[in-house]
Chains A and B, each alone.
Chain A
Amino acid sequence: MKEQWRLLQTGFNTAFSNMAVDRAILVVNSEGKVPPTVRFYGWIPSAISIGYFQSLADEVDIRACERLGVDYVRRITGGGAVFHEKELTYSIVIPESHPEIPKNIMKSYGRICGAVQKGLHHLGIESEYVPINDIVTGGRKISGNAQTRKLETVLQHGTVLMDVDVDKMFSLLKVPNEKIKDKLITDVKQRVTSVRHLLGKDVRFEEVAGAMKIGFEEEFHVELIEGKLSKEELALAKKFEKECFSAKDWNHRR
């Protein structure tokens, strides 16, 4: 019989809640109280997440975010700034010791990205993993990914772009050199793509989630059983949301 992992479909939530839930799952999984977990979620309102090591003020135009009602949050994972709007975000939480997870961090990125690639395949999109943390199709990025390891547990989260508004994204992100902003926007437009662009039609979130579920099941030879956050995870997520992810101390710390 196939190993059973938990699938969480937590719907659309704020940036603060989304990041708090991923961290809460990591903590509770590290205590052996919940199985390896794959989660699919979205962002309402739209939000920018920045990598753990990034400077908020350097990366994000906070005034523009406030004007447009876009939230911003610092992740516990490294990597770059991401504008989360029309996308599916996944997360996977699993003990480092699990036989399906390579000990080598780069190899484990490749493995988890493999699940996303298989999911894309089920939508009719062929893609390749480009180290360090991108998945591209036809040379254009469709997914960005970031992993942390804490408490002997792996948390990787990443995006599957369903549609992309590069102009809006750049109205919210700061660029190192304003003079070349227009060129940068043109370049990025040529370097990113989306499910909608590739398939030439709108695809529902549920359809992308269905394909990703199969992708993770195939890659890891498991069965994903739909479940819920435990009471402990919910309580911990509330605490992290309040004390960390929505707190100025955390978001402005670098």
Chain B
Amino acid sequence: MRSQSIYKVPQGKLLKISVEYDEKNNVIMNIRITGDFFAYPEEAIELMETKLRNVLMEREQLLEKIRSIITEYHIQFIGVNAEGLTQGILMCKP
């Protein structure tokens, strides 16, 4: 199933996420994170999209995975954060 969300991060930017996910297993197959936020380095967003494949569409798992990617690759987000990304992804679920 393919789904999109638009989420204004509190005190942050507008996040537009599109997710292709396996409904039966509740996992992300493909994800595209777009919006008017900032990330350093910028290329980290593609990495984030790749690393989120096969992750369960549940708050705890998403938050933990996103936080670990941010730490491991020294990503600095401005206008969005791990909570915002998680919320945007979960909003893709009906």
Contacts and interface: CB of A to CB of B under 8 A. Distances in A.
Given A53-B33, A55-B16, A132-B79, A76 B40 contact: no
Given A53-B42, A53-B45, A150-B41, A80 B78 contact: no
Nearest to B40: A149
Contacts, number: 57
Nearest to B77: A78
Contacts of A78: 36-39, 42, 78-79
Interface in A101-117: 105-106
A80 B37 CA distance: 7
Nearest to B35: A53
Contact of B16 (A52, A58, A146, A149): A58
Contacts of A81: 36
Interface in B37-60: 37-42, 45
Contact of A53 (B6, B12, B37): B37
B34 interface: yes
Contact of A58 (B13, B34, B45): B34
Given A53-B45, A149-B40, A132 B78 contact: yes
B40 A51 contact: no
A54 interface: yes
Interface of A: 51-55, 58, 76-81, 105-106, 132-133, 146-150, 176, 254
Given A53-B36, A132-B79, 20 more contacts: A53-B33, A53-B35, A53-B37, A53-B42, A54-B36, A55-B34, A58-B16, A77-B38, A77-B42, A78-B39, A78-B79, A79-B36, A79-B38, A80-B13, A105-B38, A132-B38, A146-B38, A147-B38, A149-B40, A254-B34
Interface of B: 6, 12-14, 16, 32-42, 45, 76, 78-79
The 4 closest A-B pairs by CB, nearest first: A80-B36, A78-B38, A55-B34, A52-B42
30 contacts: A51-B36, A51-B37, A53-B33, A53-B34, A53-B36, A53-B39, A53-B42, A55-B32, A58-B16, A58-B34, A77-B38, A78-B36, A78-B37, A78-B79, A79-B36, A79-B38, A80-B14, A80-B36, A81-B36, A105-B78, A132-B13, A132-B38, A132-B78, A132-B79, A147-B38, A148-B40, A148-B42, A149-B40, A150-B41, A254-B32
